[in-house]
Amino acid sequence: MPSARRYKYRMSQPKVLITRGYAPEVLREFCDEFDVAVGATGRYLDRWELLERVGEVDALISRSADRVDREVMERAPRLRVVSNFGVGFETLDVEEATRRGIWVCNTPDVLTEATADLAIALLLCACRRISEAEAYVRNGQWNQINPDLFHGSDPEGKVLGILGMGRIGQALARRARAFGMRLIYHNRRRVAAAVEEALGARFVPLEELWALSDFLSVHTPLTPETEHLIDRPQFARMKPGVYFVNTSRGKVVREAALVEALASGKVRGAGLDVFENEPAVHPDLLRMPNVTLLPHIGSATRETRRRMEELTLDNARRVLRGERPRTPVNDLGPAGTRRPGGVS
């Protein structure tokens, strides 16, 4: 059975488990300060490996594929911090961690620009039919000049609806303005008037977002309230021929409903970086030429992933030193209060 690789072993040092390989140059100083075990490069730890290895750790640096729930925490009585590589934390039981006095951290901000870049790329792929045209060339079908090939749509002057006006939504809005798009948005809380003015974005209720958008881009976190927020009734209320982009979480959208909307022409084209049951993709999406499909690579630039690694390590380091982490999801006070036995 494969096992995590141990960089150092010093009994007096706090123990840290990193569930997937990190760049050695990022880990070097961290490993001088802590006793670090690292999972295999290129794959995630299996569930049994995670449960087996958390028993003595003080810090866990997790990935989106790692489900850190009560069972994991019960196996890790010394655990003080779960530092997650990524913005989303739906695979982490934050409530249980808080009850046990365990910090939960994520990596916002550092992946904002890269994800917004990908969203605008998917928007352009959808409206300019990039994936269809590229496949046409690769498949050897382009054998004569045809001025009527792959007519798409201009983004200029069109209405871009942004669902979720957090960091990434705002970064997308800045990019979309450069294309001359008109911006509307819906957010759980309306952003400050100064931000709206700077972005040229107008807040609208959800019903207006569906009805007015020529393009719709999803940037909302996955919560019980947002799961399947976009379903058949929502697609039915959208403009005929809308373009749809999702770089947030797949389960915000009912995939079968999106397939139906694409098949009927209600949605003219789509760009998807996330899927409802990833890595599985609805088989009908795989056959649709007007959909660009990407394997959840919103933050996948060398520079961004390096910053994400550094931030996860910094959050863990701060907690293990008795300090408050930089980007906590929960709040345990100025530096956190470890409850006796780990549970209140």
The size of the chain, in residues, is 344
Q: How far apart are CA 267 and CA 245, in angstroms?
A: 10
List all residues 6 or more positions away from 28 whose beta carbon is below 8 Å from its beta carbon: none
The kind and range of the H/E element at 244 are strand 242-246
Residues designated as active site: 249, 278, 296
Radius of gyration of the chain (CA): 22
- CA nearest neighbour of 250 among 278, 283, 231, 282: 278
Q: How far apart are CA 250 and CA 207, in angstroms?
A: 21
Contact status, residue 97 vs residue 76, Cβ threshold 8 Å: no
- CA nearest neighbour of 231 among 214, 217, 210, 247: 210
Q: How far apart are CA 225 and CA 185, in angstroms?
A: 18
Q: How far apart are CA 300 and CA 305, in angstroms?
A: 6
Contact status, residue 165 vs residue 201, Cβ threshold 8 Å: yes
- CA nearest neighbour of 250 among 260, 258, 242: 258
**Interior angle at CA 213, CA 208 and CA 214, nearest 5:** 160
Q: C-alpha 285: how far from its chain's center?
A: 20
